[in-house]
Amino acid sequence: MTLEIFAPRGEDRQRPHSQDELYIIASGQSDVVRDGERGHVRAGDALFVRAGTEHRFEGMSDNFVTWVVFWGPPGGEAPAPSPSVFAAIDA
């Protein structure tokens, strides 16, 4: 796991990362584009980005700062098993 502070100014030129990411917005606000969908984040929000997913912040306020936590294996964590898998194990 790695913890970093991310405070882009101007254009956010991120590329997809090899690990899953969790952004915790510390201050300010921004639009965010994740896997082609647009949203908005502000201080106190958290945003999950799966490994390998295109994402970037756009229209950031002057005081935009976010913590970013990278964790897990390259390629991201495996999806959680569905409840039907547990039902088959218990049977």
- Rounded CA separation 89/73 (Å): 26
Express each pLDDT in 41-74 by its tens digit: 999 999 999 999 999 999 999 999 999 999 998 8
- Rounded CA separation 31/37 (Å): 10
Question: pTM here?
Answer: 0.81
- Rounded CA separation 60/27 (Å): 10
Looking at the predicted structure, is the pLDDT value of residue 80 above 80?
no
Query: DSSP string spanning 10-66?
Result: S-------SSEEEEEEEESEEEEEETTEEEEEETT-EEEE-TT--EEEES--TT-EE
Domain count across the chain: 1
Q: DSSP assignment, residue 73?
A: S
**CATH number of the domain that residue 8 is part of:** 2.60.120.10
The domain containing residue 29 runs over which residues?
2-90
What is the pLDDT at residue 44? Answer: 97
